[in-house]
Amino acid sequence: MNRISIVTITYNAERSLQRTLDSVGCQTYPYIEHLIIDGASQDSTLQIAKRYKEQSLHEVVIQSEPDHGLYDAMNKGLMKATGDYILFLNAGDSLYAPNTIETVMAYGNQESSGKAELPAVIYGDTAITDADGHFLRLRGHRPPKVLTWRSFKKGMLVCHQAFYARLDIARGLPYNLSYRHSADVDWCIRVMKEAERRHLALVNTHAVVANFEQGGDTAQHHQDSLWERFHVMAVHYGYVQTVLLHCWFVVRAFIKGKDGN
């Protein structure tokens, strides 16, 4: 059975961390390593994490030290993880159901007999929740039936919290720290590019696998995030094509707005 490393990044996350920990702690899949990478929180985050570690049936590792931002902390998680797959599930986000990891890993474990290589990525859909974890809607960008690295031309169609990557691939592709808000988009594209280079599958679970709390870092730094995403797309898809795609995004938004009136 394949092992999964779930990495949760925290910094002064006492308001939202417990929901994330509860969603991992109740998972029915037994082979889970949960890494909590903390940026030297000053609130009760560490006390919450330590209490969770004492009570959890899964292996829990806590590391707390100053870092250089979210993606630096995520790179620390990449280096510390020991599983076959890795998932980043930060404070405030949660797994959709108690059997989510079991559902996802079924697609990896069916290949573990050696008849075929493990999929490079296993992915699914995402629900949007409010600050209290209540369901609001499914995410507007829906995962395609067949995913490739070119799919992200249309936006980040698979949420980072619903993107399970093989650790041996992910570790060789650390997050680009020159991006402050959109390194996750760049990272997912690079992982999928490497999957194509190795002729490895990207597998759709056809299930909702994550809850994403509305109003995260991207929403709080919306303008900066948009510029970064434009740059990420230009790097991977070319400047001209990216400009044309963004012109279409503007026209589409205008048409939708006009129809709504």
Beta bridge partners of residue 211, listed in sequence order: 94, 127
Total number of domains constituting the chain: 1
Q: Please determine, for residue 147, whether its predicted confidence score (pLDDT) is greater than 80.
A: yes
pLDDT the model gives residue 75: 98
Residue 237 lies inside a defined structural domain of this protein:
no
Q: Is the pLDDT of residue 8 over 80?
A: yes
Quote the CA–CA distance of 30 and 25 in Å, as a whole number.
10
Q: For residue 212, is pLDDT > 90?
A: yes
**Residue 212 domain flag:** yes
Residue 260, in any domain of the structure: no
Tell me, yes or no, whether 259 lies in a domain.
no
Query: Which is nearest to 96 in space by CA: 58, 53, 140, 126?
Result: 126
257 inside domain = no
The residue with tokens 């929740």 is 129
pLDDT classification of 236: cutoffs 50, 70, 90: very high
Report the Cα 194 to chain-centroid distance in Å: 17
CA 113 vs CA 28, 32, 108, 117: distances in Å: 22, 20, 10, 9
CB-based contact 49:36 (threshold 8 Å): yes
Beta bridge partners of 36: 8, 62
- Is 80 or 230 the better-scoring residue by pLDDT? 80
CATH number (domain holding residue 88): 3.90.550.10
Residue 213 lies in a domain: yes
Range scoring the smallest mean pLDDT among 102-116, 151-165, 183-197, 240-254: 240-254
More confident residue, 40 or 240: 40
Checking if the pLDDT of 159 tops 80, the result is yes
Res 52 pLDDT > 60: yes
Q: Is 139:161 a contact under the CB 8 Å cutoff?
A: no
Does pLDDT of 216 surpass 60?
no
Asked whether residue 199 carries a pLDDT value surpassing 80, the answer given is yes
Residue 258 scores a pLDDT above 50: no
State the pLDDT confidence band at 57, using cuts at 50, 70 and 90: very high
pLDDT category, 15, cuts 50, 70, 90?
A: very high
Give residue 259's pLDDT band: very low, low, confident or very high (50, 70, 90): very low
pLDDT at position 111 over 60: no
State the pLDDT at residue 117: 86
Token digits of residue 85: 């797959």
Quick: pLDDT tens for 20-43: 999 999 999 999 999 999 999 999
Question: What is the pLDDT of the chain when averaged over all its residues?
Answer: 89
Lowest mean pLDDT among 24-33, 51-60, 126-135: 126-135
Residue numbers of the domain that contains 16: 4-221
Is residue 88 within 8 A of residue 174, CB to CB? The reply is: no
Q: What is the pLDDT of residue 152?
A: 93
pLDDT of 254 higher than 60: no
Give the residue with greater pLDDT, 213 vs 35: 35
Tell me what the mean pLDDT of segment 186-192 comes to.
Answer: 98
- Asked if the structure places residue 236 within a domain, the reply is no
